[in-house]
Structure 1
Amino acid sequence: MNRLNVNKTVFKEAIFENIKNQFRKTIDQASNQEIFQAVAYAVRDIIIDQWIETHKTYEQVDAKTVYYLSMEFLMGRALGNNMINLCVNEIVKEVLDELGVDLNVIEDEEPDAGLGNGGLGRLAACFLDSLATLEYPAYGCGIRYRYGIFEQRIIDGYQVEKPDEWLKNGNPFEVRRPEYAVEVKFGGNVRVERRDDGTEHYIHENYQSVNAIPYDLPIVGYNNNTVNTLRLWDAEAIQSFDLESFDRGDYHKAVEQQNLAKSIVEVLYPNDNHYQGKELRLKQQYFFISGTIQQVIRKFKQKHNDIRELPDKVTFHINDTHPSLAIPELMRVLMDDEGLAWGEAWAICSRTCAYTNHTIMSEALEKWPIELFSRLLPRIYQIVEEINRRFVVSLVDKYGQDNERIRRMAIIANGQIRMAWMAIVGSFSVNGVARLHTEILKNEELKEFYELYPNKFNNKTNGITQRRFLLHGNPKLAEWITRKIGDEWTTDLTHLKHLEAFVDDEKAQKEFMHIKYENKVRLAEYVKKHNGIEIDPRSIFDIQVKRLHEYKRQLMDILHVMHLYNELRENPDRNMIPRTFVFGAKAAPGYERAKLIIKLINNVANVINHDINIHNKIKVVFIENYRVSNAEIIFAAADVSEQISTASKEASGTGNMKFMLNGAVTLGTMDGANIEIVEEAGKENAFIFGMTSDEVIQLQHERTYDPWDLYNTNQAIRKVVTQLINGFYAPENPDLFRMIYDSLLNGGGEPADQYFILKDFEAYIEAQKSVDIAYRNQGKWAKMVMMNTANAGKFSSDRTIEEYATEIWHLKKTSVDLTKI
């Protein structure tokens, strides 16, 4: 059964057989989870022939392939996405209807594959979808985290992290590939042997090692026959049980290798605020990089005799700084395993690796202590030292003894290895992910590298896949759009521009807004079920959902809610459109202040939602365990998209694009891709406020900003900031939010109000007032939201990938012909 011959009768029989063979049951005895498994395996049967044929085709034409290296792939659920891309959604729905089974209920049985923290991992997932849809040969390469990102519970207003057991019932779409296993080594020492020809041979010994075992997942292209692969590496012990140690009574030693392997792939991004966490994170990064590069070289050599041809057939793309170990690991394989001299190896490596910088925030520009790095990866450290030595020599040749510049640019300095610098030096392309971000990299953060390598730097503005976030996530709007302008938008999002013909049409406006209302009802039902809170679908749904970080300024959002509540307490009859403020965010487990902001949001919600005197004019909701599957419901329901990061701090953002696509109006700063969103939709169709990136950067350089001036002169600011420490939102512990208060006014080891929340606060209040005024004119509002959807075409990941494929990777489209099967 493949996409070309699937029919209802065959598919129904496949479900019956899967339930019988896997669970020894008939369908009327099966649970929803068992039916999900049966349907998923039936869908996988459709995929398999295409999957095999795709890779056979790539081998026949010897296609150049990109290996997209990422510590994160936030894939979400696979079943619905695969059905849509296979174009069998309607058939499957009809089959299940005939069986008395609700497809939505079955889809809800699938856990999200939460192998990412936020935008970075979701972007990688969108890119894989676009690569397959555009018929480009590609692998995604990452880690099969057994627990993924944590499952977030909110208990007494606090974030509590629980294991995300996404593999508890298995993954029906994955295929274990033990034949591609490779050994990955840690620790030990390196011995040098001099050969008869005078060359040196490096021997790694006394190491610990694990087997890297790939698990492949299909990435289905939309309405074509291409199925690419996401390869996730799992770790297994070389020898899982040491019987000799067990017999001696050394039980820990008996399972030592098994525990090492288990720890590497246990959980996404362990806490790195302690030494053991840093060590484990570095192990994770090297583990999947070494597994990938060893296997790719092995595969390359099966068809090619000359390793020097590698750049013609392979690109390793480094998705943010985390996979930058690809550069020294590729050098190790080329020199130690393939016997190349340094110059030959470096020529290959620096033509094979490309790097995307996603942010200027410190956590992405990783630095590793030399002691940790050299002990854990001794051979890799030797190679990094030599890369650095040669790079420093080149700097001296170019700039002379400019010691200060060399210290700033050296890969190794101050007892640390700067991984972003390594990625820049060892790659042939360095790109930012929005026009503003790339300019900041070139003119501020990476200015000296841009001066050294101007031809390496380029911009690729991010995008999202419309198939996940409109076709699947908002089926009612997708159907309406197709009725109006046809279905070409599913593979060419610029076709949405044709919707502009309807933005002044009163009937079309009412249809669009009715769909929005139905999506708001859907979200209200979700909130009632999961939060126990009644929210009014006729209120303005003002939504901020994203990873919780201080620069994204969820704190400013909730301070504004506190301000609005203060005004309503003084004047409960104030004329305002009721507003529902929705938050969703996970904070990194070790990020104490971010977790405290979550507690503040929930405490504010608890006070406001129980105050009958304000007549339900404000409701506040914190959606627990924000993830891809509930994000689809949230984006479709939003009226206002909160994109309020401190200007110059957000590289791009992709949530802003998902909201725009689904007909929400951006309330934001001129930061990241917001600038390009406003250019496309028109400034009149957004609410823009706050300092520009130039103003922020200037303030940071001048260091003259003192938030106490605002606290002492602005009564609105003074009141909400004081409420952080006067017990208003924490009567049993008035000092609970003092850390937040101090971050705004006193700093405490860092600049006070370093993300300029108070500086932008008054402008934010005025922008929020503009939202209230605009929403009162429903005809005008309908036109605004329709203009956003109509002008979202630029922000498809298909466009982004087309640019990567043609301008960086130089891939060729490779079609798959199923008629030969």
Structure 2
Amino acid sequence: MLIQNKEDVKKLFKDRIETMYGITFENASPVESYTALAGVVRDYIYRNWAKTNRSYDETSQKQAYYFSIEFLSGKQLCTNLLNLGLRDTFKEGLEELGVDLAEVERVEHDLGLGNGGLGRLGSCFLESLASQQFPAHGCTIRYKYGLFKQKIIDNQQVEILDDWLEYGNTWEVRRPNRAVEVKFYGYVDIDDIGSTTIFKHRNYQPVMAVPHDMPVVGYGNDTVNTLRLFSAEPKREIDYTLLSGEEMQKAINYERSVESITEILYPDDSQKEGKELRLKQQYFLVSAGIQTIVNRYKRKGGDLSELGKKVAIHINDTHPALSIPEMMRVLMDEDNFGWDEAWSITREVMSYTNHTILPEAFEKWDIESFRWLLPRIYMIVEEIDRRHKEELRCKYGQDSWKVWEMAIIRDNSINMAHMAIVGSHSVNGVAKVHTEILKNSVMKNFYEYYPDKFNNKTNGITHRSWLLKSNSPLSKAVTETIGDSWIKDPMQLEELVKFKGDSSFKEKVRAAKRENKERLAKIILENNGISVDIDSIFDVQVKRIHEYKRQTLNIFHILDLYYRLKDNPNMDMVPRTFIFGGKAAPGYYMAKRIINLMMSVAEMINNDKSIGGKIKVVGLENYRVSLAERIFPATDISEQISTASKEASGTGNMKFMLNGALTVGTLDGANIEIREAVGDENFFKFGLTVDEVMKYYESGGYAAFDVYNKDFRIKRVMNSLVDNSIPGQGESYKRIYETILYNNDQYFVLKDFDSYIKAQDRAEKAYRDQDRWTEMSIVNTAKSGIFSSDRTVREYADEIWGIKASVLK
């Protein structure tokens, strides 16, 4: 049934409650109301989903598949209603029934399929692809528990299971008839039959990969693409009543081993068992994904020799890099292709995005563990490496050091980034500076060898999620001023520049910011018990906790400001509310120590009445998409302070910019392009440049102790970490102190401190002139169009995947 008005909504909702639960809607619980309402929306979506798939089949268009170990989609009900253009209709209809749509939406759990920027990027891409009607889909794992829910107890992070499937996932369709078998362990028999060598994987552990498909709804059109989630299940039902004690234990161990594969995102890999589980997850994803793609292609009558003309597979970071040897396995072992033809097809199909230049983030797998878990895949990797090195020797000579440096297998480990480069036809970075660092430093040898492979695709975000959905006060003001064409064409936001001096529009922008700050202040009061000043500067740093992201630099500024206030309680300053959010990986000791320091500083400052409430520090626990949707619109200052050269791109910086926050940032990642867009006068830059950082790393010349001894402010802040000035876990703070000073401040926290303080002072001075600040804010929103994921995915589609937009008939 088409939903044309609020009467349709009322009828469908009431009918669904009655048929699902046998009760009237007045007696439904919030969970029952959510499930019923989501069911109504789901049924509406599914018709267009079928229509989309039928159109792709009939037109035989090339389709792209985006492989990512995570997708961070957030809550789906609001997004789907918004993209269908039905949210107001549903809101009005439910209001007449006495049901608050916002309350129903709050029941839904955030999808536990991601952690941070990598997963959110993938979700933005899928939304933009559907909204622009590109035939492109996502592939990932259906994690039972996702990453973890973060609780802060005694100022320290505690991880608890994120049971995002508590109420099930009403949006998905389980497709057991499309399940495929993934093989682990065992051994490989090699037989020569005539001139053909046959490889048979024997005595393996079978795992069934069962697809669960979720619709991805395009904005304002009928396109519905697919996010396919794979769950791991035992190959067969086990009747334990027929088993002896030893057999029963083996069966239990098998079931537990299978279930663990898709139980949790990013298992702790500090021990051997955790490393093996992560490798299992990665192979499970790519094997399941590639088998289902190839099976579908063959069902539709496709010629596998032409696969590259109809299928593009994208490797998002190195987690899915095993797509390359798995595609080779499928083509050779299951479809009888020779090596050269299989390799040509594989390279034509595969493309790879690099997301880091941090050496410790490059995935490497121990040979013995890899060979034990994936015997056939190891044989293929070994052969890819052998042929790759032979090519290199032909160009550089038998003994060239480049052969060793560019090897896929060396030092008893397999380098997955090297695998991804060698086996793909395209390698891209995610910001201009990041791509240049890859080409000129981190992957210089590969760039010289494969110059045509490397390209840049600066990241983007979907404006529909991060402005239209999450910031209705500002999006309403924008639409009233320039119309609604920006929703489908974010470059139209540029028109706002003409209105930056318009007093009426500026007042609307200020009113929107205030409304958003009031909303966030309410959340802070409810969750943290802290009352914050709406007129204070909301200074925000929300992102994964990591040393290179330098939450420590932010904390040191807060401590310096606090100590200056203690020296002079009458100091003239604009009150400031510092807001943090982010999770530390469970096994990342220093990141957890940073959270401990952050929360202890917050407790100390918030309870000190002598500073008159001029500073408040808030640590929001369990940072996630639905919370981010409240934080970005309320922010005045966006903290983008990573060590120059360390952040590949960032997307949080773009979300803040879109919502009118001004950036205090280093010239790192996409910060550089944001500054170019808004102009230096609308961006507070500080710190070392990429070239300066790289020079220090290469040539030395920096001594952290010299900076510490010469700057009274730094010495006072650093000493407070070890002299019991800050209450709480002193040993934690001591480790931060020792890591910075005794490791020579590898992320240049102390080196950039003075420049950072000056940038903060400039930002405060600018904030005092609210008229000028609002103009700066408007310019940031106006110039954000180039950071739309609509633009990014068009570049991927045109320049890497070779897919075309498809208007459904």
TM-score of the two chains, using structure 1 as the length reference? 0.97
**Percent identity between the aligned chains?**
52
Answer yes or no: is the 8 Å Cα contact 1:68–1:317 preserved in 2: yes
2:37 matched residue in structure 1: 39
Q: How does 1:523-672 map to 2 (within 5 A)?
A: 523-672=520-669
Partner SS, residue 414 of structure 2: strand
For 2:239 and 2:444, locate their aligned partners in 1 and report how far apart those are by CA, in whole Å.
54
Q: Deviations over 1:486-532 (max 9, x none)?
A: 11111111100111111011222122111101100000001001111
2:745 matched residue in structure 1: 753
Q: How does 1:225-236 map to 2 (within 5 A)?
A: 225-236=222-233
Partner SS, residue 190 of structure 1: strand
Deviation at 1:240, TM superposition (A): 3.4
For 1:14 and 1:155, locate their aligned partners in 2 and report how far apart those are by CA, in whole Å.
44
When the two structures are aligned, how many residues end up with a matched partner? Answer: 809
Deviation at 1:728, TM superposition (A): 1.2
- Are 1:815 and 2:804 counterparts? no
For 2:134 and 2:458, locate their aligned partners in 1 and report how far apart those are by CA, in whole Å.
19
Deviation at 1:247, TM superposition (A): 3.6
- Are 1:743 and 2:735 counterparts? no
Answer yes or no: is the 8 Å Cα contact 1:245–1:253 preserved in 2: no
- Are 1:790 and 2:782 counterparts? yes
For 1:181 and 1:375, locate their aligned partners in 2 and report how far apart those are by CA, in whole Å.
25
For 1:458 and 1:401, locate their aligned partners in 2 and report how far apart those are by CA, in whole Å.
30
For 2:219 and 2:366, locate their aligned partners in 1 and report how far apart those are by CA, in whole Å.
45
- Are 1:30 and 2:28 counterparts? yes
Answer yes or no: is the 8 Å Cα contact 1:240–1:257 preserved in 2: no
- Are 1:72 and 2:64 counterparts? no
Deviation at 1:24, TM superposition (A): 2.4
For 2:302 and 2:759, locate their aligned partners in 1 and report how far apart those are by CA, in whole Å.
63
For 2:749 and 2:399, locate their aligned partners in 1 and report how far apart those are by CA, in whole Å.
39
Q: Deviations over 1:279-325 (max 9, x none)?
A: 00000000011011011111111223521100000011000011000
Answer yes or no: is the 8 Å Cα contact 1:241–1:258 preserved in 2: no
- Are 1:354 and 2:346 counterparts? no
2:730 matched residue in structure 1: 734
Answer yes or no: is the 8 Å Cα contact 2:9–2:94 preserved in 1: no
2:422 matched residue in structure 1: 425
Deviation at 1:434, TM superposition (A): 0.4
Q: Deviations over 1:539-596 (max 9, x none)?
A: 0000000111111111110111011001000001000000000000101010010011
Partner letter of residue 188 of structure 1? G
For 2:248 and 2:198, locate their aligned partners in 1 and report how far apart those are by CA, in whole Å.
37
Distance 1:248 1:713, change over 3 A: closer
Q: How does 1:74-223 map to 2 (within 5 A)?
A: 74-195=72-193, 197-223=194-220
Q: 1:277 aligns with which of 270, 274, 279?
A: 274
Deviation at 1:21, TM superposition (A): 2.4
Answer yes or no: is the 8 Å Cα contact 1:671–1:693 preserved in 2: yes
Deviation at 1:179, TM superposition (A): 1.1
Q: 1:690 aligns with which of 672, 687, 690?
A: 687
- Are 1:522 and 2:522 counterparts? no
For 1:156 and 1:29, locate their aligned partners in 2 and report how far apart those are by CA, in whole Å.
40
- Are 1:327 and 2:305 counterparts? no
Q: 1:315 aligns with which of 312, 315, 322?
A: 312
Deviation at 1:245, TM superposition (A): 6.3
For 2:232 and 2:360, locate their aligned partners in 1 and report how far apart those are by CA, in whole Å.
26
Deviation at 1:249, TM superposition (A): 5.6
Partner SS, residue 269 of structure 2: coil
2:765 matched residue in structure 1: 773
Q: How does 1:246-285 map to 2 (within 5 A)?
A: 246-248=243-245, 250-285=247-282
Q: Deviations over 1:352-379 (max 9, x none)?
A: 0000001112354100000110000000
Which piece of structure 1 moves more, 245-254 or 655-664?
245-254
For 1:680 and 1:437, locate their aligned partners in 2 and report how far apart those are by CA, in whole Å.
17
Deviation at 1:114, TM superposition (A): 2.6
**How much is the aligned-residue C-alpha RMSD, in angstroms?**
1.1
For 1:44 and 1:736, locate their aligned partners in 2 and report how far apart those are by CA, in whole Å.
49
Partner letter of residue 41 of structure 1? G
Deviation at 1:395, TM superposition (A): 0.3
Deviation at 1:29, TM superposition (A): 1.0
For 1:543 and 1:305, locate their aligned partners in 2 and report how far apart those are by CA, in whole Å.
52
Answer yes or no: is the 8 Å Cα contact 2:17–2:33 preserved in 1: yes
For 2:43 and 2:442, locate their aligned partners in 1 and report how far apart those are by CA, in whole Å.
49
Which piece of structure 1 moves more, 8-17 or 136-145?
8-17
Answer yes or no: is the 8 Å Cα contact 1:239–1:258 preserved in 2: no
Answer yes or no: is the 8 Å Cα contact 1:553–1:645 preserved in 2: yes
Answer yes or no: is the 8 Å Cα contact 1:318–1:354 preserved in 2: yes
Deviation at 1:405, TM superposition (A): 1.4
Q: Deviations over 1:225-270 (max 9, x none)?
A: 0000000000110123253763446432232332122100000010
1:699 matched residue in structure 2: 696
Answer yes or no: is the 8 Å Cα contact 1:174–1:217 preserved in 2: yes
Answer yes or no: is the 8 Å Cα contact 2:604–2:727 preserved in 1: no
Answer yes or no: is the 8 Å Cα contact 1:549–1:587 preserved in 2: yes
TM-score of the two chains, using structure 2 as the length reference? 0.99
For 2:30 and 2:509, locate their aligned partners in 1 and report how far apart those are by CA, in whole Å.
34
Answer yes or no: is the 8 Å Cα contact 1:238–1:257 preserved in 2: no
Answer yes or no: is the 8 Å Cα contact 1:244–1:254 preserved in 2: no
For 1:322 and 1:85, locate their aligned partners in 2 and report how far apart those are by CA, in whole Å.
30
Answer yes or no: is the 8 Å Cα contact 1:496–1:790 preserved in 2: yes
Answer yes or no: is the 8 Å Cα contact 1:605–1:619 preserved in 2: yes
Answer yes or no: is the 8 Å Cα contact 2:240–2:248 preserved in 1: no
Answer yes or no: is the 8 Å Cα contact 1:728–1:734 preserved in 2: no
Q: Deviations over 1:385-427 (max 9, x none)?
A: 0000000000000001243211110000000000000000000
Partner letter of residue 114 of structure 1? G
For 1:241 and 1:573, locate their aligned partners in 2 and report how far apart those are by CA, in whole Å.
74
Which piece of structure 1 moves more, 237-246 or 652-661?
237-246
For 1:200 and 1:250, locate their aligned partners in 2 and report how far apart those are by CA, in whole Å.
36
For 1:127 and 1:249, locate their aligned partners in 2 and report how far apart those are by CA, in whole Å.
49
1:240 matched residue in structure 2: 237
- Are 1:474 and 2:474 counterparts? no
For 1:246 and 1:684, locate their aligned partners in 2 and report how far apart those are by CA, in whole Å.
74
1:673 matched residue in structure 2: 670
Partner letter of residue 606 of structure 2? N
Partner SS, residue 107 of structure 2: coil
For 1:251 and 1:718, locate their aligned partners in 2 and report how far apart those are by CA, in whole Å.
63
Answer yes or no: is the 8 Å Cα contact 1:36–1:107 preserved in 2: yes
Answer yes or no: is the 8 Å Cα contact 1:240–1:258 preserved in 2: no
1:494 matched residue in structure 2: 491
For 1:409 and 1:219, locate their aligned partners in 2 and report how far apart those are by CA, in whole Å.
39
For 2:149 and 2:315, locate their aligned partners in 1 and report how far apart those are by CA, in whole Å.
27
Partner SS, residue 731 of structure 2: coil
Q: Deviations over 1:331-354 (max 9, x none)?
A: 000000000110010010010000
Deviation at 1:662, TM superposition (A): 0.3
Deviation at 1:786, TM superposition (A): 0.6
Structure 1, gaps ≥5 residues long: none
Which piece of structure 1 moves more, 303-312 or 228-237?
303-312
